[in-house]
Amino acid sequence: MRFLSTIFSAVLLLISVANASFSTDILYWPLESPQPSVLASISYDPTSLKSDVVSYHPPKDDQRDNLVRVGLYTSTSPNKKQWVGSLVSLSSLTASEQPTFRLHLGPTNEVYTVSLSASTSAQGSTSSPQIELVSNESGTQPHLNRPVIVGPDGQNPEQPEEKSILQKYWWVIPILMFLSMSAGGGGEGQ
Sorted by where each begins, the domain ranges of the chain are 22-134
**pLDDT at residue 123 greater than cutoff 60:** no
pLDDT tens, 28-70? Answer: 888 888 888 888 888 888 888 888 888 888 877 666 667 888 8
Q: Which of 87-91, 101-105, 153-157 has the highest mean pLDDT?
A: 101-105
Distance CA 100, CA 97 (A): 10
Distance CA 45, CA 103 (A): 12
Q: What is the DSSP string of 81-135?
A: SEEEEEEEEGGGGSTTEEEEEEEEE-TTS-EEEEEEEEEE-SS-S-PPPEEEEE-
CA distances, 150 to each of 144, 158, 160 (Å): 17, 10, 15
Q: Which of 7-11, 86-90, 136-140 has the lowest mean pLDDT?
A: 7-11
The whole-chain average pLDDT of the chain stands at 78
CA distances, 46 to each of 14, 88, 102, 151, 169 (Å): 16, 26, 13, 50, 52
The per-residue pLDDT for 169 is 92
Among residues 104, 103, 93, which one has the least CA distance to residue 128? 93
What's this model's pTM, rounded to 2 decimal places? 0.57
The per-residue pLDDT for 58 is 80
**pLDDT at residue 126 greater than cutoff 60:** no
CA distances, 24 to each of 34, 107, 108, 114, 176 (Å): 21, 16, 14, 11, 70
